[in-house]
Amino acid sequence: MSQDLRIALTKGRLQDKSVELFEAMGLDCSPIKDPGRRLIHKVPNYPLEAVLAKAPDVITYVEHGVCDLGIVGKDTILEHGKSFYEVLDLGFGKCRFALAVKKGSDFYGTYKTRRVASKYPNVTRAFFEKKGMDVDIIKIEGSVELAPILDLADGIVDIVETGVTLRENGLVPIEDVAQVSARLIVNTASMKLHKAQIEDFIGRCEAELAKRREQA
Amino acid sequence: MTYTINTPEGTRDRLFAECRDRRSTQTALTDLFYRRGYAEVSTPEVEFYDLFLRSGSPLPQESMLKIIDRSGKIMVMRPDCTAPIARVAATKLKTLPLPQRLYYAETVFRSGDQHRGGSSEIAQCGVELIGAAGKKADLEIVAMAVDALRSCGLARFHIELGHAGFFRSLADRMDLEEDQVEELRSLIEGKNFAALGDFLEPYQDRPATAALLRLSRLFGGAEVLDEAEALAGENEAIAYLRELYEALCGAGYGKYLRFDLGLVHQIDYYTGVVFRGYVEGAGDAVLSGGRYDSLVASFGRSAPATGFAVDVDAVAACRPGTEAPRVGTLIHFAESELDRALTAVDGRAAGTCELSPCETLEETLALARRKGAGRVLVLDPDGERTVEV
């Protein structure tokens, strides 16, 4: 019964922060930090193994149940999320999801249909649908800031970390779409079938998060 | 790109073992349903879109596959079987005495998201017990849900019970706006522990806050019923679940049962006990059902009802696969010996022997080599002989 739980971690910044969290929880993360050529990394002192994946893939793996758990940003969940349990806000990887427009422009003050560029077309659509507003959405893969500069779009919906990039490109955030941070997600069937193991893991996460909040 | 040799996304050709595994799973389920007195019904694959609108279907319209008919009406490939069966029960079966026990083995169609690996064609087997309210009807259906998965040869599975009334009774005590209730519901459904805490933070003084805060964690064995009662006080829904549980335990079903009081999906559709089945090896629930007492009435005949549907392919994937039989013998026969040849095929295990269509024995031997068959049985008017290949 006590098969190892498998967790998918989002590569990059969230991965480092996740490892930091795990180590604070007392998990030995040396195999994750020094992955070599292996793709599945076993935690030696806890029944857990980790895989590293791009953010949308974390969701895919968890939804299909090939990973029991995942750590992924709320931005990705809003864009791709479907059916899993989103159990914890891990408190790291914080940033804002915002609508930004060219400095001095009046985004809302016109009857003309606005055009918005984003890496997150679904989030953008949901945001404007809620306002009852029709907008043209353009999916951009790279530097979204370029779209308004080239007059391709009137505004962008994107992640804002420091706001420096926006400022340097003459854009200002005018409205928050959502607050983003890393989340712990759980496959619905795993939650039920491996309740004790998953609750133990969630409990350890919660204990560490509570400790952090106290220190803050 | 031409669309001649590919199948549309979400569909696929099912070959050999896949068909057999699907069929044998269907047979295991429908045999059980039939044995328990359920009669098969089959409804059209294409229905008016309005049917599903009328039924208050929880499926969003974008997940239904639509067709416009010659007169311009919107039709859909049926996205579930329960609403059409409720229609049948309210119309065609109007003169029959209730309760009616119905089962189906059908395909439902849902257009999934691109590139998610989901299937648009879902084989479902299910039952509906129409016109029966109360505990005995619920017991019958929950017990059959357990037996359904058991009859498929599964051992490691749970049927998880919840009750639509529990969340509703707690929400009523909170005095919230309707859209707030919906937000609360979706946080509990998603087991969004942290966000649920934030949402309830301003309502610390309300009577049901403590119970709602714990609700998404109230899943597991029968002990969650005790905890729910400790948090929410006496509660009809919990008392009812306990009665069901005790009766089912008495019949030997206890070890398959779990609870999830945070099972609050489709709360406007379900009116009482809800349940889901989880199997080791499947990433999502493979069985889903519950009591829906107002659905049939939306078609003009008031009748309480309950039922469930099994995702046949998901269950089939969790069963040990059957080994495909290999062709071991080809029969090379003279035209006059057709009856002997057929008798020989019929006398062997299915799939292990087939007729050779070749004119000459050399051609048959070559065919046997290509097929990996070890023997050729030659039937002449004078007799028979076996040639090893």
Q: Which helix (H) or strand (E) holds B289?
A: strand B287-291
Q: Measured between CB atoms, which of A89, A186, A192 is closest to B158?
A: A192
Residue A36 has what pLDDT?
81
Q: What is the mean pLDDT of each run of 10 residues along chain B (389 residues)?
A: 80 88 96 98 95 82 90 94 95 94 96 73 96 97 98 94 95 91 92 88 89 93 95 93 97 97 88 95 93 94 96 92 84 95 94 94 95 94 91
Nearest-CA residue of chain A relative to B260?
A192
CA distance B123 to B386: 44
**Pairwise CB contact (< 8 Å): A63 & B220:** no
Cβ neighbours for A198, distance < 8 A, ≥ 6 positions apart: A5, A68, A69, A186, A190, A191
- Residue A9 pairs in a beta bridge with A52, A71
Backbone angles phi, psi at B48, to 5 degrees: -65, 140
Mutate to test the interface with B, among A192, A198, A206, A212 (most CBs of B within 10 A): A192
Residue B62 has what pLDDT?
86
Residue B116 has what pLDDT?
67
**Pairwise CB contact (< 8 Å): A192 & B278:** yes
**Pairwise CB contact (< 8 Å): B193 & A88:** yes
**Residue A105 confidence class, pLDDT cut points 50, 70, 90:** confident
**Residue that wins the pLDDT comparison between B34 and A108:** B34
CA distance B348 to A135: 68
Lowest mean pLDDT among A61-65, A82-86, B220-224: A82-86
Phi and psi based region of residue B16 (left: phi greater than 0; alpha: psi -120 to 50; beta: remaining): left
Residue B330, classed as helix, strand or coil, is strand
CA distance B50 to B60: 13
Residues of chain B contacting residue A85, judged by C-beta atoms under 8 Å apart: 190-192
Residue A2 has pLDDT above 60, yes or no: no
A187 touches chain B (CB under 8 A): yes
CA B219 to chain A, closest CA, distance in angstroms equals 8
A82 touches chain B (CB under 8 A): yes
Q: Which helix (H) or strand (E) holds B3?
A: none
Q: Measured between CB atoms, which of A84, A89, A188 is closest to B195?
A: A89
Task: List C-alpha distances in Å: B312 to A187, B57, B119, B290.
Answer: 20, 21, 12, 18
Nearest-CA residue of chain A relative to B263?
A188
**Pairwise CB contact (< 8 Å): A87 & B117:** no
A139 touches chain B (CB under 8 A): no
Average pLDDT of chain A to the nearest whole number: 92
CA distance B349 to B338: 19
Query: What confidence tens digit (pLDDT) does each residue in A152-178 have?
Result: 999 999 998 888 889 999 999 999 998
Nearest-CA residue of chain A relative to B259?
A192
**Pairwise CB contact (< 8 Å): B190 & A86:** yes
Q: What secondary structure letter does DSSP report for B154? A: -
CA A162 to chain B, closest CA, distance in angstroms equals 25
Task: List C-alpha distances in Å: B253 to B208, B247, B249, B380.
Answer: 32, 9, 5, 60
CA A170 to chain B, closest CA, distance in angstroms equals 35
Residues of chain B contacting residue A65, judged by C-beta atoms under 8 Å apart: 282-284
Lowest mean pLDDT among A45-49, A59-63, A108-112, B159-163: A108-112
Residue B121 has what pLDDT?
92
Cα B258–B238–B128 angle (5° rounding)? 65
Using the CB atoms, write b or e for B158-197: b if 16+ within 10 Å: bbbbbbbbbbbbbbebbeeeeeebeebbebbbbbbbbbbe
Residue B355 has what pLDDT?
95
CA A27 to chain B, closest CA, distance in angstroms equals 23
Residue A128 has pLDDT above 70, yes or no: yes
Residue B193 has what pLDDT?
87
DSSP line for chain A: --PPEEEEEESSHHHHHHHHHHHHTT---HHHHS-TT-SEEEETTTTEEEEEE-HHHHHHHHHHTSSSEEEEEHHHHHHH--SSEEEEE-S-S-EEEEEEEETT--SSS-SSPEEEEES-HHHHHHHHHHTT--EEEEE-SS-TTHHHHTTS-SEEEEEESSSHHHHHTTEEEEEEEEEE-EEEEE-HHHHHHTHHHHHHHHHHHHHHHHHHHHH-
CA distance A185 to B41: 40
Q: With a CB-CB cutoff of 8 Å, which residues 97-126 of chain A face chain B?
A: none
Q: Give the ipTM.
A: 0.81
A64 touches chain B (CB under 8 A): yes
B191 touches chain A (CB under 8 A): yes
Cβ neighbours for B222, distance < 8 A, ≥ 6 positions apart: B242, B245, B257, B259
Q: With a CB-CB cutoff of 8 Å, which residues 247-286 of chain B face chain A?
A: 258, 260, 278-280, 282-285
Residue A1 has pLDDT above 50, yes or no: no
Q: Which helix (H) or strand (E) holds B111?
A: none
